[in-house]
Structure 1
Amino acid sequence: MRDEEPTCRSAGCVHRRGRGVVRHLRPRGGRRPGPLVTASATVVRACVVEALRRSVDDRGLWLRRFVALDGSAELRTEALAHWVSWADVVAGYVASRTGDSGRSLRSASIGGALQAAFLAVLRGWDTTSRPAHELLGTLDQDLVPLCEVLQGWLDATCGGCARSEG
């Protein structure tokens, strides 16, 4: 698997237009994803970046909306619920690959770590001077070392626990 880089599409994820970025990543048609050698933090990273790619625009409207909502005390409860849901989707995807429950330590930790890193990148982004495509590159680059560590943890604790179709 490491020789041939998996992608979000090859992993069986799709992005549906609507609110949020990753909350709408789900295995196609409710089916389990296709076979991979192990659960892959690289696939999760690819899905996160691809979902954001489909949401951002060259004028920066998506990011300005994020900044406004993220800073609104009135919307804090809704924002927290959204980000918990975001992490749960990532955890659910990991769980579908490992056989864990979405609330297991392994799945929930990966969902929470990626959600925290995603938010940190967005919150640190300069919304006025750099184009959206640079945000995507920064997010992808910033997630690489985190996902490498998470992959090492998956490999060490999961062994061959990925499930294949069938």
Structure 2
Amino acid sequence: MTNRGSARGRPRRSSRLEIEQRAIGLFLRDGYSSTSIEAIAVACGISKTTYFRYYGSKSELVWWVFDEYIRATEDALNSADLELPVMAAIRQAVMEATGGVADDEGTWMKRFELLDTTPELRDGEAAHWQAWGEAISRYVAARTGSRATDVVPAAVGGALQAAYLAGFRESSATGESSTQTLARLDATFALISQPLQAWINFEQAHSALMGRHPLVGSTAGPWEIESSDGISPRPRSHNQQGS
């Protein structure tokens, strides 16, 4: 999400959501390409100038919550309890992050319907889901002492991405509420966690034999995901821990 600078301040999240709800409704009704920023502004009762205080473009309106969601997932993984099995920690982190964006009005759900029916948004959708899956893969790599691009971390990230999308699309098709959708997603993750955890356990054991040191239990300090090269994360410095 683009930072507009401190002079004007950061727009209220609630106002952003109100505009987003109206806009996505217009996109679904009239088509993304056919809906202008001016039409969105009129529907929301604001000026185009006000619109641009919140968003730098039409596409940013679609992506800003997705960007927040990816960051929330990364934050939840960063703070996950290392005593938990890897899949339990991921499941908890994903549910926490999803609960923060799955609004009662169903806007988060409608976004999936929009993305699935709008070809011009497909590239952006693929890039965002890749970023989300890579966050999962980096966490698995950290916990297994491997690289995010190795088979197990990459496969776990891909499997969870596929399960997440399948669950949300099924919920969207059946008109489930946000609460029902979250329950479905949690049940789906619970179902696939056992076989994935068994695979992760094997990778952890292999790393131990190879002399690699995954982050496990109380032996590891606070850490942060190393996103630049996919290598297992580094511990934070004392200054970082205090920030």
User: With structure 1 as the length reference, what TM-score do the two structures score?
Assistant: 0.77
- Deviation sequence 1:22-41 (CA, Å, 0-9, x none): 5212258xx7966437x511
Is residue 36 of structure 1 aligned with residue 83 of structure 2? Answer: yes
Q: Higher relative contact order at CA 8 Å, sep ≥6: structure 1 or structure 2?
A: 1
Matches of 1:33 and 1:125 in 2, distance apart? Answer: 27
Percent of residue pairs identical: 29
Matches of 2:88 and 2:154 in 1, distance apart? Answer: 16
Alpha-carbon distance change, 22 to 155 in structure 1, aligned in 2, over 3 angstroms? farther
Corresponding residue of 1:88: 134
- Deviation sequence 1:82-126 (CA, Å, 0-9, x none): 111111010011112122111111110110000000000111113
User: With structure 2 as the length reference, what TM-score do the two structures score?
Assistant: 0.54
Q: Quote the offset at 1:74 in angstroms.
A: 0.8
Matches of 2:139 and 2:187 in 1, distance apart? Answer: 21
Q: Quote the offset at 1:68 in angstroms.
A: 0.6
Corresponding residue of 2:150: 104
**What letter is aligned with 1:134?**
Q
Where 1:66 maps in the other structure, the secondary structure is helix
Where 1:58 maps in the other structure, the secondary structure is coil
Provide the aligned C-alpha RMSD in A.
2.5
Where 1:75 maps in the other structure, the secondary structure is helix
Q: Is the 8 A contact 2:133 2:157 kept in 1?
A: yes
Alpha-carbon distance change, 114 to 84 in structure 1, aligned in 2, over 3 angstroms? same
Corresponding residue of 1:149: 195
Corresponding residue of 2:74: 26
Aligned residue-pair number: 147
Where 1:125 maps in the other structure, the secondary structure is helix
Is residue 120 of structure 1 aligned with residue 166 of structure 2? Answer: yes
Q: Is the 8 A contact 1:36 1:162 kept in 2?
A: no
The correspondence for 2:115, drawn from 28, 49, 69, is 69
Q: Which moved more, 1:151-160 or 1:103-112?
A: 151-160
Matches of 1:21 and 1:138 in 2, distance apart? Answer: 22
Matches of 1:162 and 1:137 in 2, distance apart? Answer: 31
Unaligned runs of 5+ in 2: 1-63, 222-234, 236-243
Unaligned runs of 5+ in 1: 1-16
Q: Is the 8 A contact 2:134 2:157 kept in 1?
A: yes
Corresponding residue of 1:53: 99
Where 2:194 maps in the other structure, the secondary structure is helix
**What letter is aligned with 2:92?**
A
Runs of 4 or more above 4 Å deviation: 31-34
**What letter is aligned with 2:204?**
C
Corresponding residue of 2:29: none
